[in-house]
Chains A and B, each alone.
Chain A
Amino acid sequence: SQTIHQWPATLVQPVGSPLSLECTVEGTSNPNLYWYRQAAGRGLQLLFYSVGIGQISSEVPQNLSASRPQDRQFILSSKKLLLSDSGFYLCAWAGGNTIYFGEGSWLTVV
């Protein structure tokens, strides 16, 4: 069966510091992968998606970037974090017509 892993689960970072969140999927090949953000009091918002290695599409302009160095690995990054980057970041993959989410990474920028 397919599983999706995210890490770290929780992190507190100062403003201006870099960020790297990792997501890996097991049990499938060439998945479509997604990064969503859930800010306090707001719905999930799609940030990036990838249909293959090195292929990244951005949905909203922001301080973040994404990369897909391997088939089942998706990375969310920032060079300099802003306070507004705080939130719950969720990696997801598309299996058939269904979207499955990981356990999420809580980011607090202080």
Chain B
Amino acid sequence: EDQVTQSPEALRLQEGESSSLNCSYTVSGLRGLFWYRQDPGKGPEFLFTLYSAGEEKEKERLKATLTKKESFLHITAPKPEDSATYLCAVRLHGSGNTGKLIFGQGTTLQVKP
């Protein structure tokens, strides 16, 4: 069964304390891995798409990396405004449709000043 698992479920950091969020996947064939940020009561906001092992993408304090089994979202020197839930999702080969994604349950990040 295709599955996406995120860890930890919750993460509390002090401002400036770097860390990483993990997204591991067991899928029949990966056609893209997505990271989203979701603020409470809001829709997910697109961050990155990764397509192949070894690929990396950066945006401000965030860097996403991809291996054949997992992806990491590295947060460098986080600020309180980085507090949110971070969602990971995968698109499968043969899904036949761009928007059919399988999501993990998310990691809720809290950054304290």
The reply on B61 being an interface residue by CB < 8 A is no
The reply on B59 being an interface residue by CB < 8 A is no
Cβ B105 vs Cβ A98 within 8 A: no
Cβ B87 vs Cβ A92 within 8 A: no
Kindly state the separation between the CA atoms of A102 and B38 in the bound complex, as whole angstroms.
11
Looking across the interface, which residue of chain B has its beta carbon closest to that of A103? Answer: B43
Cβ B99 vs Cβ A97 within 8 A: no
Size bin of chain A's contact surface = 20 to 34
Instruction: List A contacts of B89 (CB < 8 A).
Output: 44
Size bin of chain B's contact surface = 20 to 34
Number of A-B contacts (CB under 8 A): 59
User: How would residues 72 to 110 of chain A score, 1 for a CB under 8 Å from any chain B CB and 0 otherwise?
Assistant: 000000000000000000101110011111111010000
Instruction: List B contacts of A43 (CB < 8 A).
Output: 4, 87, 103-106
Kindly state the separation between the CA atoms of A9 and B44 in the bound complex, as whole angstroms.
15
Interface of A is mostly: strand
Cβ A104 vs Cβ B41 within 8 A: yes
Question: Which of B32, B34, B43, B98 has the largest number of chain A CB atoms within 10 A?
Answer: B43
Kindly state the separation between the CA atoms of A105 and B36 in the bound complex, as whole angstroms.
18
Kindly state the separation between the CA atoms of A106 and B21 in the bound complex, as whole angstroms.
27
Residue of B41, B100, B103 touching A49 (CB-CB under 8 A): B100
22 contacts between A and B (CB under 8 A): A34-B99, A43-B87, A43-B104, A43-B105, A44-B87, A44-B89, A44-B103, A45-B103, A46-B100, A49-B97, A49-B99, A90-B44, A97-B49, A98-B46, A98-B49, A99-B99, A100-B46, A101-B45, A102-B43, A103-B42, A103-B43, A104-B43
Query: Which residues of chain A have a CB within 8 Å of any CB of chain B?
Result: 32, 34, 41-46, 49, 51, 57, 59, 90, 92-94, 97-104, 106
Beyond the given A44-B44, A103-B42, please list 12 additional residue pairs across the A-B interface where CB-CB is below 8 A.
A34-B100, A43-B87, A44-B87, A46-B100, A59-B100, A90-B44, A94-B98, A97-B49, A98-B49, A99-B99, A102-B43, A106-B41
